[in-house]
Amino acid sequence: MYTHAIVRKPASNFSEGLTTSQLGKPSFELLQIQHSAYIRTLEKLGLSITVLPALPDYPDAYFVEDTAVVAQEVAVITNPGAPSRQGEEKSIQEALSEHKKIENILTPGTVDGGDVLMVGRHIFIGISERTNEEGAQQLSDLYQSFGYSCHIIPVGDGLHLKSSVNYVGRNTLLLTQPFQHLSLFDDFDKIVLEDTESYVANTLWVNDTLIMPAGFANTKDKLSRLNLPIIELDVSEVMKMDGGLTCLSLRF
């Protein structure tokens, strides 16, 4: 069970953040409404939320997930792979050190938390444009020393590993088609997304409830087979900045 989450308010210049999306100019007003609804949803699921102030010097900083990898025994502060995001991790270290023992990914290693999928004692680490081999290896060594089994996977498609694969409870992974045949995932049941709904791969499993992006009926249908409560949230403005539901918080 998660009991805590850390989030950060988006800054009004958030649209200066990195994005590859062609979905148009995002609205700050709407993003604030969507971000508040996200916080309320986590609160309803029993989490107590630390809301950090906006960081206008880092327009992507409300994607806090990328700045740390948090487990029961330790929080690893990352070294974000995008130069414009390096430095975001400093205030996260401060916030997490109230709760956890801290370790750090060190240069030349880079890791974005969006590339790290934890399922129980297993950790899948994606090598992407943001997470390099050195960073993945440092993270893997750290968590192996705490008894976790770590697996490193190349992410050929999408921004981060968790843009394409997430755990949705009941020993099941929700994943996009390019990831469906990876033998590393053979021990899981799989729900494979249709191409048109691949964005929903970034569904968030919190305390046995699924929080999914609103408006993807086919996937909602598939997820309902798991018999878990499903909450749909509109994250249109987050999507315009290449982000999703997992990116907006650190849960522990």
Residues with catalytic function: 160, 247
CB closer to ligand CIR, 12 vs 183: 12
Residue whose beta carbon is closest to ligand CIR? 114
62: left (phi over 0), alpha (psi -120 to 50) or beta: alpha
In angstroms, the Cα distances linking 196 to 200, 206, 215 are: 10, 25, 12
CA–CA distance, 179 with 202 (Å, rounded to integer) = 14
**Please, which residues have CB within 8 angstroms of residue 26's CB and are 6 or more apart in sequence?**
14, 15, 237, 240, 241
Binding to ligand CIR (CB under 6 A) within 5-24 occurs at 17-19
- Our finding on whether 247 is near ligand CIR (CB under 6 A) is yes
CB closer to ligand CIR, 57 vs 187: 57
Paired residues of 118 in beta bridges: 123
Pick the stretch among 71-79, 91-99, 134-142, 238-246 that binds ligand CIR (CB under 6 A): 238-246
Type of residue found at 157: D
- Our finding on whether 241 is near ligand CIR (CB under 6 A) is yes
CA–CA distance, 203 with 164 (Å, rounded to integer) = 10
CB closer to ligand CIR, 35 vs 160: 160
Binding mask 181-220 for ligand CIR (x = CB under 6 A): ----------------------------------------
Paired residues of 144 in beta bridges: none
Order across the sheet with 48-52: list the strands.
Answer: 48-52, 4-8, 250-251
Binding to ligand CIR (CB under 6 A) within 88-147 occurs at 114
CA–CA distance, 81 with 132 (Å, rounded to integer) = 8
CB closer to ligand CIR, 176 vs 227: 176
Minimum CB–partner distance for residue 204 and ligand CIR (Å): 11
- Our finding on whether 230 is near ligand CIR (CB under 6 A) is no
CB closer to ligand CIR, 65 vs 237: 65
| Interacting residues toward ligand CIR by CB under 6 A | 17-19, 60, 63, 65-66, 82, 85, 114, 159-160, 163, 241-244, 247
